[in-house]
Amino acid sequence: MDEQERLRQGEGIRREVLGDAHVDRSQAGRSDFNGDFLDLITRYAWGEIWDRPGLSRRQRSLITIAMLAVLGREAELKLHLSAARNNGVSRDELKETLLQVAIYGGVPAANTAFQLAEEALAASSCDGGDGSGA
């Protein structure tokens, strides 16, 4: 696959995971300064890593959420918490992942992540407690 194909594939996966609105906002902010960076992450994060066999998108989503919570990357964490439902992540899976974060990444990181997750769940109208997708 050449770089242009990987870029197109990455953009498609990025849209499926994060949603058209986010990708459109990101593209609207594209400039001569950040364009190469946007292409890089689209090709390699989305067109390469998120498309690899071996882990489902649901699994990748949960891993990403855990890492972003531990690293304290709140803006990116909010984005991936909101996108988790697109990957089939349930409320219970999200809760269990954040409990794992508390033990292995620290209670303060999990505390913030739980607060952000509750906001994302409420915004997605999946806050009914039925275990449906987050």
Average the pLDDT over 84-95 and give the result: 95
What is the pTM (predicted TM-score) of this model? Answer: 0.88
Which burial class, exposed, middle or buried, applies to 84 when counting CB atoms under 10 A from its CB (0-12, 13-18, 19+)? buried
Contact 61, 80 (CB under 8 A): yes
Report the residue count for the chain. Answer: 134
Residue type, 83: A
State CA 71 to chain mean position distance: 14
pLDDT confidence of 125, banded at 50, 70, 90? Answer: low
**Is the confidence at residue 133, as pLDDT, over 80?**
no
Residues 6+ apart with CB under 8 A from 86: 16, 17, 18, 19
Q: Which residues pair with 60 in a beta bridge?
A: none
**Is the confidence at residue 134, as pLDDT, over 60?**
no
Average the pLDDT over 99-123 and give the result: 97
Average the pLDDT over 50-68 and give the result: 97
